[in-house]
């Protein structure tokens, strides 16, 4: 269900396919035949498979429109309409109890009830409240959107009910509704990641609950359905006239919120009608039971009486599908309480509308301005709702949303590559060049043969006392030569662009070359590609004294060919990142304790350079922990000691050496890469250091996230 191309029919889908296959064989042509067909088929299925498809949560998407369209009706009528519809295809007692429990909760939430309270009541009725609380407490230990928190929700859904059976699946649904009552998008995405045969049906019910809650009333489904029904008002009289002429049934297909789910309304008038309200006066013949959908013709005629070509109801308020009919003052504002929008349909002139409304709503709940912090108050039938201004939430918009701690700060907001906080959505995920965003909107899939940051071999990483980097394990590493002599390391950004340290290319009279695919400098391995540097672009803020902004971009005379031994490192931010705060991914990468550095630098303080490419792990030290004496260190790797910086800028990032491991002279300009999930990102460039693997000393790397706008714009303009 959650992987492209892996979808198979769920229990609910196969059951409904089977239902309409039988329908096409029997072809019932009258109301009596339809009822006999449904009842006989249900009894047959109950005897043969009482605990399979019949007891599945797959019936929930089918009944959602009935509850939504019955939002203005009393709860009993709305629930009965939903149960009657479900009984046509899922007559199992467990499934019907599931439908009733869910319909009550959804109807209450649409009326302004608290979703968390309704979810708690439902879980207690299902006997799963204590289990839900236990997992809720476990989830609160981890940041919102984190992988560990998702794992807790997955375990909860597995225990409560991962299969399609109604009671277990409904318990999982209400658990997620309780946990994500204020985050509809997060709830639906988490439900999808939890998997299961019926995660689509479970998600449909969950989505309806979440978006119908008071905090999201401006997006709620009932309003959308109401507008759709009113747009179809002109079509309904023609349908009724046709039904009056022909004894047949009409299928009206209504798509439910963009999903591939359809609802079938059998409007069998005038021979029969929906049992949606009380029938006035005594009626001869049998009284329909609670599970019956249709009533006999004589009883139907007591509800609908003929007056020429017009069908008139004796009572119109709170009845099923009342929004299909033309606006009427008696029905909308006398038989029931009407909303401002309903009154506006009756009084098209604004002046008349305001006069009527001021008299009708003498006790306007919005007149006392209950909504706080600049929120908009909206009148409802029995209450009001508040549409909060940005930065606030809660039923009265009295709670402040912590905009200073956006979701991208926690585990990169669930994104595999780049995360950007959005005012309209919780967060927005995007991908590096060579990738496309997966349909789950968080993960990234390669669309080229050799995408950045993905070596074609798997390794678990570990230049002084380091280990040899096996061939192809550091494919972004490049070697910089000055007048044919090895001088520094560098890193591949694209087939034509190389990044290195500025102090490595300060002599314009020298000829610089870049070699990629290099491993052993003493051997010709037939994987090397050598290119001449035709353009050297130093960062405009580079300072030789302080080594601040120690970066340079090198353009090659011709492109290198990407392959197993030449792959670019991914930059830790998107192209559209501005010069403001660093991206969510950059913050996440900065919190990773261990990164990997590589190069051909000296193996000891005064030793010779390595012939074979080395790599090792280094760990982060925060800038604030360095003493003033350490900040004034003049030890600089790759430069004469007299060129070492007098003080440090906060654009530098520190990595401490452990157990005699460090970068050293010759490693300058090389890459510091950090792995996040399956991708390696370039987080630093080797700049300088104090000693080589001396106890308590450190190496300094230029923090790349601060310079992404310059890197992207320079490559684009040149």
**pLDDT for res 718:** 85
pLDDT band at 323 (very low <50, low <70, confident <90, very high): very low
668 part of the active site? yes
Distance set, CA 266 to CA 73, 130, 194, 256, 257 (Å): 20, 42, 35, 17, 21
Instruction: Tell me the angle at which helices 199-212 and 60-69 cross, rounded to the nearest 10 degrees.
Output: 20
Q: Is 704 exposed, middle or buried (0-12, 13-18, 19+ CB in 10 A)?
A: buried
Confidence of residue 587 (pLDDT cuts 50, 70, 90): confident
Under DSSP, is residue 385 helix (H, G, I), strand (E, B) or coil?
strand
The answer, yes or no, to whether residue 558 has pLDDT greater than 60, is yes
134-138, 400-404, 566-570: which range is least confident on average?
A: 400-404
Q: Give yes or no for residue 636 having a pLDDT over 60.
A: no
- How confident is the model at residue 495, as a pLDDT? 96
Three-state DSSP state, 698: strand
Residues 6+ apart with CB under 8 A from 187: 176, 177, 179, 180, 206, 207, 210
Assigned CATH topology for domain 30-220: ADP-ribosylglycohydrolase fold (1.10.4080)
The CATH number fitting domain 407-446, selected from 2.10.25.10, 2.40.290.10, 1.10.3720.10, 3.30.300.30: 2.10.25.10
pLDDT at position 377, please? Answer: 83
In whole angstroms, give the CA distance from residue 200 to residue 57: 10
- Could you say which of 421, 550, 662, 667 is catalytic? 550
606 has pLDDT over 70: no
Catalytic residue among 410, 503, 539, 651: 503
Residues near 456 by beta carbon (within 8 Å), at least 6 away in sequence: 450, 472, 475, 564, 567
Q: What is the pLDDT of residue 642?
A: 29
The predicted pLDDT at position 450 comes to 93
Q: How confident is the model at residue 560 (pLDDT cuts 50, 70, 90)?
A: very high
Span 592-613, mean pLDDT?
77
374-398 mean pLDDT: 75
Tally of CB atoms within 10 A around 605: 13
Mean pLDDT computed over 248-264: 31
Distance CA 630, CA 699 (A): 11
Q: What is the pLDDT of residues 187-237, one digit of tens each?
A: 887 877 776 655 677 777 788 888 777 444 444 444 544 454 444 444 444
**C-beta separation of 193 from 154 below 8 A:** yes
Please answer whether residues 288 and 303 qualify as being in contact, where contact means their C-beta atoms are separated by less than 8 angstroms: no
Question: Which residues lie below 8 Å from residue 487, measured CB to CB, with a gap of 6+?
Answer: 480, 481, 504, 666
CA distance 7 to 614: 46
- For 97-131, what is each residue's pLDDT tens digit? 878 888 888 888 877 788 888 899 889 888 889 88
Q: What is the pLDDT of residue 633?
A: 40
Per DSSP, helices labelled H in 232-267 are 235-245
Contacts of 492 (CB under 8 A, 6+ apart): 475, 476, 477, 478, 498, 516, 560, 566, 567, 568, 569
Please, are residues 87 and 99 in contact by the beta-carbon 8 Å criterion? no
Show Cβ contacts of residue 541 under 8 Å, excluding neighbours closer than 6 positions.
Answer: 548, 549
Region 274-294 average pLDDT: 37
Q: Which pLDDT does position 295 carry in this prediction?
A: 41
Contact 685, 499 (CB under 8 A): yes
Mean pLDDT of 489-511: 93
State what percent of residues in the chain have pLDDT above 90: 17
Fold agreement (30-220, 407-446)? no
Q: Which CATH number fits domain 467-717: 2.40.10.10, 3.40.50.1580, 3.40.50.300, 1.50.40.10?
A: 2.40.10.10
The model's pLDDT over 638-696, given as tens digits with 9 standing for 90+, comes to 333 223 344 444 444 444 443 344 455 557 899 999 999 889 999 999 887 655 545 55
pLDDT at 411: 79
Helices (H), 111-183: 115-125, 129-139, 147-161, 166-179
Is residue 656 within 8 Å of residue 617, measured between CB atoms? Answer: no
Catalytic residue status for 503: yes
Looking at 225-229, 386-390, 465-469, 587-591, which range is the least confident one?
Answer: 225-229
Encoded tokens for 344? 């506006």
For residue 54, give the nearest of 102, 8, 95 by alpha carbon: 95
Pairing verdict, β 671-676 and 418-421: unpaired
Q: What is the pLDDT of residues 19-46, one digit of tens each?
A: 667 777 777 776 566 666 766 766 666 5
**Which pLDDT score, from 0 to 100, does residue 149 have?**
85
pLDDT at residue number 674: 92
Answer with the residue of higher pLDDT: 149 or 20: 149
Sorting pLDDT into bands at 50, 70 and 90, what band is 502? very high
The pLDDT value given to residue 181: 82
Cβ burial 42-77 (10 Å sphere, 16+ → b, else e): beebeeeeeeebbbbbbbbbbbbbbbbbbbbbeeeb
User: How much is the average pLDDT of 263-291?
Assistant: 34
Alpha-carbon distance of 350 to 353, in angstroms, equals 5
Burial class of residue 386 (count of CB atoms within 10 Å of its CB; 0-12, 13-18, 19+): buried
Determine which helix (DSSP H) or strand (DSSP E) holds 342, and give its type and residue range.
Answer: helix 340-346
Name residue, tokens 């060579």.
434
Residue pair 589/679 in contact (Cβ under 8 Å)? The answer is no
Boundaries of every domain in the chain: 30-220, 225-279+293-347, 407-446, 467-717
**Stretch 423-449: mean pLDDT, rounded?**
85
Distance of alpha carbon 621 from alpha carbon 453, whole angstroms:
24
What average pLDDT is seen over the chain?
A: 69
pLDDT confidence of residue 625: 35
Q: Which of 484, 492, 461, 471 is nearest to 613 (CA)?
A: 471
- The pair of three-digit structure tokens given for residue 239, joined into one six-digit string: 């349908």
Poorest-confidence range of 2-11, 427-436, 452-461? 2-11
Identify which has the larger pLDDT, 152 or 456: 152
The answer to whether residue 164 scores a pLDDT higher than 60 is yes
Residue 72's closest CA among 224, 226, 220, 213? 226
How much is the pLDDT for 8? 55
Write the CB contacts of 486 (distance below 8 Å, at least 6 apart in sequence).
Answer: 479, 480, 521, 600, 609, 666
Query: Mean pLDDT across the stretch 454-466?
Result: 57
Give the model's pLDDT for residue 701.
83
């Amino acid at each position: 269900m959650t992987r492209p191309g892996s979808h198979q029919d769920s229990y609910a889908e196969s059951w409904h396919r089977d239902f309409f296959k039988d329908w096409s064989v029997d072809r019932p042509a009258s109301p009596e035949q339809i009822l006999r067909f449904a009842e006989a088929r249900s009894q047959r299925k109950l005897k043969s498979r009482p605990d399979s498809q019949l007891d599945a949560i797959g019936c929930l998407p089918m009944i959602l429109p009935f509850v939504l369209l019955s939002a203005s009706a009393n709860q009993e009528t709305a629930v009965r309409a939903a149960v009657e519809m479900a009984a046509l295809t899922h007559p199992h007692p467990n499934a019907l109890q599931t439908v009733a429990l869910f319909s009550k909760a959804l109807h209450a939430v649409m009326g302004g009830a608290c979703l968390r309270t309704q979810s708690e009541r439902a879980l207690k009725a299902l006997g799963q409240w204590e289990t839900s609380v236990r997992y809720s407490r476990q989830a609160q230990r981890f940041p919102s959107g984190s992988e560990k928190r998702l794992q807790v929700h997955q375990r909860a859904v597995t225990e409560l009910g991962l299969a399609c059976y109604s009671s277990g699946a409904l318990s999982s649904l209400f658990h997620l509704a309780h946990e994500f009552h204020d985050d509809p998008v997060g709830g639906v995405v988490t439900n999808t990641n939890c998997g299961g045969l019926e995660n689509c049906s479970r998600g449909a019910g969950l989505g309806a609950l979440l978006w119908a809650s008071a905090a999201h009333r401006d997006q709620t489904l009932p309003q959308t359905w109401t507008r759709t029904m009113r747009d179809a008002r002109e079509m309904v009289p023609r349908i009724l006239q046709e039904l009056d002429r022909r004894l047949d049934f009409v299928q009206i297909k209504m798509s439910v919120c963009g999903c591939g789910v359809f609802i079938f309304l059998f409007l069998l008038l005038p021979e029969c009608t929906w049992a949606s309200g009380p029938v006035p006066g005594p009626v001869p013949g049998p009284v329909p039971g609670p599970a019956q959908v249709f009533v006999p013709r004589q009883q139907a005629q007591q509800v609908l009486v003929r007056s020429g070509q017009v069908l008139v109801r004796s009572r119109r308020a709170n009845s099923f599908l009342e929004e299909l009919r033309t606006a009427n003052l008696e029905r909308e504002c006398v038989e029931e309480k009407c909303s401002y929008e309903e009154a506006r349909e009756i009084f098209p002139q604004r002046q008349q509308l305001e006069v009527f409304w001021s008299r009708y709503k003498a006790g306007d709940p919005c007149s006392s301005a209950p909504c706080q912090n600049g929120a908009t108050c909206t009148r409802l039938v029995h209450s009001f709702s508040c549409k909060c201004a940005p930065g606030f939430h809660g039923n009265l918009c009295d709670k402040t949303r912590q905009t200073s701690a956006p979701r991208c700060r926690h585990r990169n907001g669930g994104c595999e590559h780049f995360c950007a906080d959005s005012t309209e959505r919780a967060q927005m995920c995007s991908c590096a060049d060579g990738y496309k965003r997966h349909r789950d909107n968080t993960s990234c899939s390669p669309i080229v043969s050799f995408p950045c940051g993905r070596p074609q071999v798997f390794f678990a990483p570990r230049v002084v006392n380091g280990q040899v980097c096996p061939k192809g394990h550091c494919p972004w590493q490049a070697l910089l030569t000055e007048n044919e002599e090895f001088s520094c390391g560098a890193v591949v950004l694209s087939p034509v662009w190389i990044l290195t340290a500025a102090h490595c290319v300060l002599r314009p009279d020298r000829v610089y070359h870049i070699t990629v695919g290099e491993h052993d400098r003493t051997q010709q391995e037939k994987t090397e590609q050598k290119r001449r540097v035709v353009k050297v672009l130093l960062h405009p803020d580079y300072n030789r004294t302080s080594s601040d902004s120690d970066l340079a971009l090198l353009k090659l005379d011709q492109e290198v060919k990407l392959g197993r031994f030449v792959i670019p490192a991914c930059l830790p931010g998107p192209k559209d990142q501005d010069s403001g705060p660093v991206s969510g991914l950059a913050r996440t990468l900065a919190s990773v304790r261990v990164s990997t550095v590589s190069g051909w630098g000296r193996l000891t303080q005064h030793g010779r350079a390595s012939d074979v490419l080395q790599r090792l792990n280094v760990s982060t030290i925060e800038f604030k922990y360095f003493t003033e004496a350490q900040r004034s260190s003049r030890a600089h790797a790759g430069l004469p000691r007299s060129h070492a910086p007098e003080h440090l800028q906060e654009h530098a990032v520190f990595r401490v050496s452990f157990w005699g491991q460090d970068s050293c002279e010759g490693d300058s300009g090389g890459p510091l890469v950090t792995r996040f999930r399956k991708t390696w990102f370039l987080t630093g460039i080797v700049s300088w250091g104090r000693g080589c693997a001396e106890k308590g000393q450190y190496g300094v790397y230029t923090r790349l996230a601060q310079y992404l706008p310059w890197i992207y714009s320079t490559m684009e303009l040149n």
